[in-house]
Amino acid sequence: MRILFATHNQHKLREIQEILCNFPGTILCAKDLGMDQEVEENGTSFLENAEIKARALYNFAKSQGILEEDDLVMADDSGLSIEALSFGPGIYSARFLGVDTPYPEKNRRILAMMEESSSKSRMAYFSCAIVAIFADGKLLQTEARCTGEIAKEPGGEEGFGYDPIFYLPEYRKTAAELSREEKNKVSHRGKALRKMERMIQEEQEKRDSARFSKAGQEQSGKGKEAKAEHKPEKESGEKPEKEEDAEKGQEVVEKGQEAAREAKTKIDGRIDPSSEEKILVLSDNHRRLDYVEKVLRLHPDISMCIHLGDSEGEGEVQALLPKGCESYFVQGNNDFFSYLPKDVEVRIGKERCFLTHGHLYGVNFGLERLSEEARDRNCSMAFFGHTHKPCNKVVNGVHCINPGSISFPRQEDRRPCYSLLFLDQKGNLRVEMHKI
The set of residues, in sequence order, having a beta carbon less than 8 Å from that of 395 and lying 6+ positions away, is 367, 368, 370, 371
Residues at the annotated binding site for substrate?
7-12, 78, 160-163, 183, 188-189
3-state class (DSSP) for residue 94? coil
Which one of the listed residues 71, 76, 77, 284 is annotated catalytic?
Answer: 77
Do the bridges between strand 173-174 and strand 166-168 make them parallel or antiparallel, or are there none, so unpaired? Answer: antiparallel
Q: Tell me the C-alpha distance between 256 and 270, whole Å.
A: 18
* Polymer length in residues for the chain: 436
Q: Are 75 and 47 in contact (CB under 8 A)?
A: no
Q: Residue 187's closest CA among 148, 142, 131?
A: 148
3-state class (DSSP) for residue 389? coil
Q: Residue 394's closest CA among 411, 376, 377, 381?
A: 381
CA angle (174 as vertex; 170, 178 as ends), nearest 5: 80
Residues at the annotated binding site?
7-12, 40, 77-78, 160-163, 183, 188-189
| Known catalytic residue at 77 | yes
What is the phi/psi pair of residue 250, to 5°? -65, -40
Q: Tell me the C-alpha distance between 241 and 186, whole Å.
A: 60
Q: Are 375 and 388 in contact (CB under 8 A)?
A: no
Determine what percent of the chain falls in helix, strand and coil, rounding each to the nearest 5: 35, 25, 40
Residues at the annotated binding site for Mg(2+)?
40, 77
Q: Residue 170's closest CA among 359, 416, 334, 357?
A: 359
Q: Residue 214's closest CA among 263, 266, 255?
A: 255
- Known catalytic residues are 77
